[in-house]
Amino acid sequence: MAQALEIVPKQIDSDQWDEPYYVNMGPQHPATHGVLRIFLELDGETIVRCDPRIGYLHRGVEKLSENLTYSQAMVLTDRLDYIASAANNVGYCLAVEELMGLEVPRRAQIIRVIVCEMARIASHLLWLATHALDIGAMTVFLYCFRDREWLLDIFEEICGARLTVSYPRIGGVRLDFNQHIIDELYRFTEEFPRRIPEYETLIDVNRIWLKRTKGVGVISGEEAVNLGLTGPSLRGSGVRYDLRRSRPYLIYDELDFEVAVEYEGDVYSRYRVRMKEMREANKIIRQCLDKLAECEGEPTVAENAPDLLIPFGKPKRPQPAPHPKKGFLVKSVEVPIVPEGEVYFAIEAPKGELGYYIVSDGSGHPWRVRIRAPSFVHISALPALSEGQMVADIIAVIGSVDIVLGECDR
């Protein structure tokens, strides 16, 4: 930083700018989708070096999880990717269940798929809205938020929360759907395929949109795998890697949907992949609703699921007042529920591969929780995507890899 300020006064007086020009994008910049700071070295308008600096939203979720019980730690996963929090919860619960060897009832699995796909549509809608706004298309924003609002209302009816849902629990889901939610979801799946062409009419053949997105941030398939890109960002480069197909979890192997793939590898093809994915997600919700009618009245929580309520130990004598900083950590009796072992479980979150690596030592709380966040990897790939491009294009590139800083910094 200090270096940048020293160089600038020299450049004002001289006619020729031999020195490189440094620009600090962020941490408070509307187009960085949070608190990302990018240190750019420019030669004219071309980016020579790009150095993303993160950590402004670091809350220590991994360290906190080691000091909470398994059920308590699930609530922290909402705060990772707060745009699609239901998908984070499902991933965490699946990882713990895999470690415990717990079988989840079929109805709960179907409901989980529905909330995951609802989260995917909500996330992609917000992505489209903000990405278009960054590039300069204002109108799409308004249309996208109209439909996202509808989804959030359904989420509110399902569990009472709009953003941080905490709806799944270890062993199933917290509540069953009522008839009104199912009717509303049917209405949504009827209506939503007609809404997608509305966005596409606005930007798909828009000449400015095409100029800003086609041939920008190009990356080949091999390079993208080496950089660790996953999800829609990888499928935009022609690699058919979708965890819902290659390592199926829940009931995805019974469902009929296509993996969206585009082959150009630029910002435009990543946009096309996400538009296709929204249609497929809508199709999946529809199929799941039909399957849900077949298992009406079945339980949504496994019988041997660990108790959600924390069993408090009875204090024998008056306890000293707790440390003011430690007040929020509820002291609970640790019931050993998870056997010793370790598991890496990844799901296809809206942004890419979201992996949980959980190590258990057989006690009531996890020994180590590691969260492999797609946004973290995508930000680390930004230099490779943007170096050699124009400085205006980095906005389009950041938008196209779809990042959320809450998940990146954890």
Partner 1 sequence: MLALEKLQEKFPEEIIETGESAGQTYVVVKREKIFDILKFLHESGELLFDHLADLTAVDWHKKKTPRFEVVYNLYSIRYKQFLRIKAQVPEEDPIITSVTPIWKVANWFEREVYDMFGIVFDGHPDLRRLLMPEDWEGFPLRKDYPLFLSPEKEWQGLVELKEKARRLAPFDWYQRVPGEVKEEEMKEPEEEKVAEGEGHGASA
- Residue 139 in contact with partner 1, rule: CB under 8 A: no
State the alpha helices, DSSP H only, in 255-351.
267-294
329-361 in b/e burial notation, b at 16+ Cβ within 10 A?
eeebeeeebbeeeebebbbbbbbbbbbbebbbe
* One residue of 64, 218, 251, 391 binding partner 1 per CB under 8 A: 64
Total count of residues recorded for the chain: 410
**Choices 78-86, 115-123, 153-161, 335-343; region in contact with partner 1 by CB under 8 A:** 335-343
Which is closer to partner 1, CB of 44 or CB of 328? 328
Which is closer to partner 1, CB of 332 or CB of 380? 380
Q: Which amino acid is at 274?
A: R
**Choices 26-34, 131-139, 360-368, 397-405; region in contact with partner 1 by CB under 8 A:** 360-368
Distance CA 96, CA 87 (A): 15
**Choices 115-123, 158-166, 314-322, 379-387; region in contact with partner 1 by CB under 8 A:** 379-387
Given the DSSP bridges, would you call strands 46-53 and 172-173 parallel, antiparallel or unpaired?
A: unpaired
Identify the bridge partners of residue 39 per DSSP, sorted by sequence position.
Answer: 24, 51
**Choices 4-12, 119-127, 264-272, 288-296; region in contact with partner 1 by CB under 8 A:** 4-12
Question: Which candidate, 112, 118, 107, 135, places its Cα nearest to that of 31?
Answer: 135
Which is closer to partner 1, CB of 141 or CB of 357? 357
Which is closer to partner 1, CB of 108 or CB of 227? 227
- Residue 134 in contact with partner 1, rule: CB under 8 A: no
* One residue of 381, 385, 395, 398 binding partner 1 per CB under 8 A: 381
**Choices 59-67, 121-129, 138-146, 305-313; region in contact with partner 1 by CB under 8 A:** 59-67
What backbone torsions phi and psi does residue 29 show, to the nearest 5 degrees? -140, 130
- Residue 125 in contact with partner 1, rule: CB under 8 A: no
* One residue of 9, 44, 320, 327 binding partner 1 per CB under 8 A: 9
* One residue of 28, 30, 63, 160 binding partner 1 per CB under 8 A: 63
- Residue 102 in contact with partner 1, rule: CB under 8 A: no
- Residue 353 in contact with partner 1, rule: CB under 8 A: yes
* One residue of 55, 193, 197, 322 binding partner 1 per CB under 8 A: 55
For the purposes of burial, counting CB atoms within 10 Å of the CB of 178, is it exposed (0-12), middle (13-18) or buried (19 or more)? exposed
Helix, strand, coil percentages in the chain from 3-state DSSP, rounded to 5: 50, 10, 40
Question: Which candidate, 151, 99, 113, places its Cα nearest to that of 129?
Answer: 151
Which is closer to partner 1, CB of 9 or CB of 44? 9
Residue for token pair 């492999």: 372
**Per-residue CA distances from 275 to 124, 200, 319, 331 (Å):** 8, 9, 57, 46
Query: Least Å distance between CB 329 and partner 1?
Result: 8
Query: Least Å distance between CB 322 and partner 1?
Result: 12
Query: Least Å distance between CB 166 and partner 1?
Result: 22
Query: Least Å distance between CB 93 and partner 1?
Result: 14
- Residue 220 in contact with partner 1, rule: CB under 8 A: no
- Residue 402 in contact with partner 1, rule: CB under 8 A: no
203 neighbors 132 (Cβ within 8 angstroms) = yes
Which is closer to partner 1, CB of 196 or CB of 273? 273
Distance CA 287, CA 254 (A): 10
For the purposes of burial, counting CB atoms within 10 Å of the CB of 223, is it exposed (0-12), middle (13-18) or buried (19 or more)? middle
User: For partner 1, what does the binding mask look like between residues 233 and 272, x meaning CB under 8 A?
Assistant: ------x-x----xx-------------------------
- Residue 306 in contact with partner 1, rule: CB under 8 A: no
Distance CA 242, CA 145 (A): 27
- For helices 179-203 and 139-159, angle between their N-to-C axes, nearest 10 degrees: 170
Q: Which residues bind partner 1 (CB under 8 A)?
A: 5, 8-9, 12, 54-55, 58, 60, 62-64, 67, 98-99, 101, 225-228, 239, 241, 246-247, 323, 325-326, 341-344, 346, 353, 355, 357, 359, 361, 367-368, 370, 372, 376-377, 379-381, 384, 409-410
